[in-house]
Structure 1
Amino acid sequence: MDNGSKESTPRPTGFHHVAYACRDAEATRHFYEDLLGMPLVHTEVKAGDGGFFRHLFFDTGDGTCIA
């Protein structure tokens, strides 16, 4: 829909945090650390109902992390 303005959709300028679910932590680590060059800076493991979850935090280089 064109309303005559060039900018009708707000554009993000940054993000606070991002978290993605994955099934293979080692493949995820390899992708972010080895291929994209984002170092793994922190890991958290927590027990939950019927299992556990692991958070991997990768430094994006601008003071934020992808988890």
Structure 2
Amino acid sequence: MEEQEQRKHIGSCLSVGELAKRLGVSLPTAHKLVHSTGFPSFRIGRRVLTPEAELETWLKRQMEEKEEI
């Protein structure tokens, strides 16, 4: 299986730096976010990764909660 196909099958993940860029926040803010309760992230060794699909779900949930207030 080609690497690109494999990534689609497994899903892609963002590093903390990539997450910061994607959300338009600072690196320290992204670090705080990945360590906060309820945020979708996991560790592999020293790396902290966030699955892109779970990030999208988390963002949608944050918007829904904001609308309820």
What TM-score results when the alignment is normalised by the length of structure 2? 0.29
Bigger share in strand: 1
